[in-house]
Amino acid sequence: MKRILALHTGGTISMSKDIGGGVVLNEKNPLLNQNELFSEEIELIVEEMFNLPSPQITLSEMFLLKERILDAIEEGIDGVVITHGTDTLEETAYFLELTVPKKISVVLTGAMRSSNEIGSDGLYNFMSAVWTAASDDSLGKGVLVVMNDEIHMAKYVTKTHTTNVATFRTPTFGPIGMLTKGKTFYIKEVMPEEVCDIQNIDGEVFLVKAYAGMNGEIFKLLNTESLAGLVIEALGAGNLPPAVLTNLQVILDRGIPVVLVSRCSNGIAEDIYAYEGGGVELKRHGVIFARGLNGQKARIRLIVGLNSDKDSKGLRAYLEGE
């Protein structure tokens, strides 16, 4: 019998609509006592880590989840399921992907409809996540996100719709598997991801999105003593308006790592264009291109890299995915 640890953190999956129509926290999580759903096949161990809407989840909560999973590995747990609010689920999943060894299956899930709404998807997604964590085929595939019968890699999955139950998608690459009647079917291999055994989550890292007519004032405001790193969602394949370059160069000259991704939902950021503000010039000046990541994932990767034992060359290689 597989032993699966369910860690509940809050979010819509644990909430209900009140009489006014607003979605609010429950005093008691409706998923706490669902052991009978898995009868004699799975021993479900349930813990409520937090009861927070996902916009209130910070790196501190992510770090505590990482530490609990490490303890679970030592305890002989076969897999971990984390229920989480959907707004920041992908960031928690990716943080765990980068910091937890691939010794057991780790699966995150959530819901787009609260527990007392018609068509609530929480219990179904939770069951699917538990079956995925218990599957032998899930082992070694890293941290997974299971929603709406699809299995996604933590690295590339993202929330794409504000309310649709099929909100979690993997642009460009698609899901790596699916579920049917509690069985997992994987259709893609997963590239190994370096795991960093970090003990801290220090450093202020900001995320900025580029736009038409952008000037460099935002970089002037961010260039403080506390700045440890900067992520920019750039235009197209990886370009910026020329007006930002002077103030951005001041940050680069301080040795602050500046990571660039595209604001497009598909494709990767590359140094293709050689005009002023183009990717070729940005890379020449020291901007790091994080291929295939969105802005929030690149920020997580940069924070993890900054708190590892990497030198500047190693950090650049890590952020570039090499």
- Percent of the chain at pLDDT > 70 equals 93
Averaged pLDDT score across all residues of the chain:
92
Instruction: Tell me how far CA of residue 216 lies from CA of 56, 213, 250, 303, in angstroms.
Output: 30, 10, 11, 24
Lowest mean pLDDT among 10-14, 190-194, 264-268: 10-14
At 16, the pLDDT band (50, 70, 90 cuts) reads low
pLDDT at 98 over 60: yes
pLDDT at 35 over 80: no
Q: Which residues lie closer than 8 Å to 65 by C-beta, 6 or more apart? A: 7, 9, 49, 82, 92, 96
pLDDT reported for residue 307: 98
Strand partners, 223: none
**Catalytic entry in 9, 12, 109, 158:** 12
Alpha-carbon gap, residue 135 to 105, rounded angstroms: 8
pLDDT reported for residue 34: 61
pLDDT reported for residue 311: 95
Average pLDDT rounded to a whole number, residues 246-270: 96
* Digit-coded pLDDT (tens) for 156-187: 999 999 999 999 999 989 999 999 988 999 99
Respond yes or no: is residue 12 known to be catalytic.
yes
pLDDT at 191 over 90: no
pLDDT at 36 over 70: no
pLDDT at 39 over 80: no
Alpha-carbon gap, residue 301 to 135, rounded angstroms: 28
**Domains recognised in the chain with CATH numbers:** 2-186 (3.40.50.1170), 204-319 (3.40.50.40)
What burial class does residue 93 get, using C-beta atoms within 10 Å of its C-beta: 0-12 exposed, 13-18 middle, 19+ buried? Answer: buried
Predicted structure pTM score: 0.94
pLDDT at 64 over 70: yes
At 32, the pLDDT band (50, 70, 90 cuts) reads low
